[in-house]
Structure 1
Amino acid sequence: MAPPQISPSILSADFARLAEDVERIADSADWVHVDVMDNHFVPNLTLGLPVVEALLRHSALPLDCHLMIEDPDRWAPAYAEAGAGSVTIHAEAAKAPIRTLRAIRAAGARAALGINPATPVEPYEDLLGEIDMLLLMTVEPGFGGQRFLDVVLPKVRRARQLIKDRDLPVWLQVDGGVSEETIERCAEAGADVFVAGSAVYGADDPGEAVRKLRGQAEGAASR
């Protein structure tokens, strides 16, 4: 497992002040998590490529772009080409995942595969060699501020075992309801990258919130 990393989701930030809100976590976070939603794959509409391109000009942190969209095979490579550090496509939406994941890597970004809560991880075991990160949703995708789904924790453990069995340097990310109350359970189950939205941007000091979450994850991972 890699040392714990925190990727605050700007879905919970102030969209009118994104550059400022990203700056508030610049000294403590590892990534900026950007939720791209198209109101088709998920029932919400958020940010797209133009906003990502603008953020890249203002963020010292790498962007972790999570594409919750239809037809990621068409759109994902452009996010990598724009300069995103990591691009996640969803297994449920991709029709040619291997080709798309390789295109993301070829464009210079880390390639990641996302899986919804009800989607089993085992059918995608053979794709682990094609990815740099596996994202397990711990809420139903589409909205921030949802309650963490403990039912996903056994899947996190299974995913970590699959990665370990293949001796792959694949990060395991969890996204949804990650907070001071849930991050230790996620780390104990084997996650090493944590997306936190409300827990960071709902705090008076987002940077300090990130530091606290990292400390909890490090403590749980070392147990």
Structure 2
Amino acid sequence: MQISPSILSADFANLEADLLAIRSADWAHVDVMDNHFVPNLTLGLPVVEALVKVSPVPVDCHLMIDDPDRWAPGYAEAGAQLVTFHVEAAADPRGLARTLRAAGARAGLAVKPGTPWAPYEDLLPDLDMVLVMTVEPGFGGQSFMADQLPKVRAVRESVRRFGGEVWVQVDGGVSAQTIEQCAEAGADVFVAGSAVYGADDVGEAIAELRALVKDPGGHTHS
């Protein structure tokens, strides 16, 4: 069970300090938006290169951008250890996933709420993670879409059938109120933005989320 706080909810003028605040997390989730694929503009490759140098945890880049086939490999080359692109934007998702892996990153595939999972199941051998969006991508602080949980279950079931080591990430509205439902549905990587950075004590918020996805015996949900 891995916690990946989203710096979309951090203070962009103090990113280094806000990264250090999440040193007890597993990843730093960095949302790259290009104002084309989603109606918001955040940050790009030069900022990610700088973040990788100062982050106390590995960087998990979620690319909400057009033409990831062209742009995504640069993020792997910059040192992001997990690079996730949207299947809706990729011309050759399998080829891109292989390119990301060849560049030394884990390859993630993201699906928007309206995108079904079944057509992409056969990509699993080339993936390290599938990201099920539990909000429409583009903005932080949105409400969790519980109607996406069956998709999380479907992805987990595909991974079981495939038998590989593929993580299932959820992103959007993940909080102390929703994280257990996500774990029960089969997610094992949780992106939380405002639930972490909106807390008085960031480290405590991460610890609380981590505790919620462990059962009382200390075992994680399988």
Matched, 1:167 2:163: yes
User: Which residue does 2:117 correspond to in 1?
Assistant: 121
TM-score by length of 1: 0.96
Aligned residue among 49, 53, 65 for 2:49? 53
- Cα distance in 1 between the residues matched to 2:214 and 2:175: 14
Question: Per-residue deviation at 1:222?
Answer: 3.5
Counterparts of residues 150-189 of structure 1 (less than 5 Å): 150-189=146-185
User: Which residue does 2:6 correspond to in 1?
Assistant: 9
Matched, 1:30 2:26: yes
2:215·2:221 contact (CA, 8 Å) conserved in 1?
yes
- Cα distance in 1 between the residues matched to 2:62 and 2:170: 12
TM-score by length of 2: 0.97
User: Which residue does 2:71 correspond to in 1?
Assistant: 75
Matched, 1:112 2:111: no
Moved over 3 A (4+): 220-223
Question: Per-residue deviation at 1:118?
Answer: 1.0
Matched, 1:218 2:214: yes
- Cα distance in 1 between the residues matched to 2:205 and 2:8: 16
2:83·2:106 contact (CA, 8 Å) conserved in 1?
yes
Letter in 2 for 1:166: F
- Cα distance in 2 between the residues matched to 1:222 and 1:79: 31
What do you get for the CA RMSD once the two structures are aligned?
1.0
User: Which residue does 1:196 correspond to in 2?
Assistant: 192
3-state SS of the aligned residue for 1:219?
coil
Matched, 1:100 2:84: no
Identity of aligned residues (%): 66
Question: Per-residue deviation at 1:98?
Answer: 1.2
User: Which residue does 1:88 correspond to in 2?
Assistant: 84
Letter in 1 for 2:3: I
3-state SS of the aligned residue for 1:50?
helix
- Cα distance in 1 between the residues matched to 2:210 and 2:182: 12
- Cα distance in 1 between the residues matched to 2:19 and 2:205: 14
Q: Mark the runs of 5 or more structure 1 residues left unpaired by the alignment.
A: none
Aligned residue among 49, 62, 65 for 1:66? 62
Q: Mark the runs of 5 or more structure 2 residues left unpaired by the alignment.
A: none
Letter in 1 for 2:198: G
Letter in 2 for 1:117: P
Question: Per-residue deviation at 1:175?
Answer: 0.3
Question: Per-residue deviation at 1:166?
Answer: 1.0
Per-residue CA shift, 1:172-212, capped at 9, x if unaligned?
00000000000000000000000000000000111110111
User: Which residue does 1:142 correspond to in 2?
Assistant: 138
